[in-house]
Amino acid sequence: MKSTINGTTLFYEVAGNPALMPVVFVHGFPFSCEMWSGQVTAVEHQYCALTYDVRGHGQSNVGDGQYTIELFVDDLIALIDDLKMERVVLVGLSMGGYIALRALERNPERVGAAVLCDTRSEADSNEVKLKRAAGIASVKKHGAATFAEQFVKGVFAAWTFEHKPELVDRIRRVIARMSPVAIAGTLLALAARTDTTESLSRIKVPAMILVGEQDAITPIDAARAMHQRIPKSELHIVPGAAHMSNLENPDVFNEKLLLFLRRVSGT
Question: Where do contacts with ligand MLT occur on this chain (CB under 6 A)?
Answer: 28-29, 94-95, 190, 217
Q: Which is nearer to ligand MLT, 29 or 72 (CB)?
A: 29
CA distance 253 to 8: 32
Residues 133 and 141 sit within 8 Å (Cβ to Cβ): no
Taking the complex as a whole, the smallest distance from the CB of residue 166 to ligand MLT amounts, in Å, to 20
Q: Any idea what the Cα angle at residue 208 is, between residues 91 and 213, rounded to 5°?
A: 95
Taking the complex as a whole, the smallest distance from the CB of residue 217 to ligand MLT amounts, in Å, to 5
Taking the complex as a whole, the smallest distance from the CB of residue 244 to ligand MLT amounts, in Å, to 8
CA distance 262 to 267: 5
Taking the complex as a whole, the smallest distance from the CB of residue 16 to ligand MLT amounts, in Å, to 25
Q: Which is nearer to ligand MLT, 28 or 185 (CB)?
A: 28
Q: Which is nearer to ligand MLT, 119 or 199 (CB)?
A: 119
Q: Which is nearer to ligand MLT, 27 or 227 (CB)?
A: 27
Whether the bond into 108 is cis, omega within 30 of 0: no
CA distance 239 to 162: 16
CA distance 69 to 11: 18
DSSP per-residue codes, 9-32: EEEEEEES-TTSPEEEEE--TT--
Residues 112 and 87 sit within 8 Å (Cβ to Cβ): yes
Give, for 174, the enclosing helix (H) or strand (E). helix 165-176
Q: Which is nearer to ligand MLT, 199 or 246 (CB)?
A: 246
Q: Which is nearer to ligand MLT, 170 or 204 (CB)?
A: 170
Taking the complex as a whole, the smallest distance from the CB of residue 76 to ligand MLT amounts, in Å, to 15
Nearest in space to 253 (alpha carbons), one of 39, 59, 46, 25: 39
Taking the complex as a whole, the smallest distance from the CB of residue 246 to ligand MLT amounts, in Å, to 11
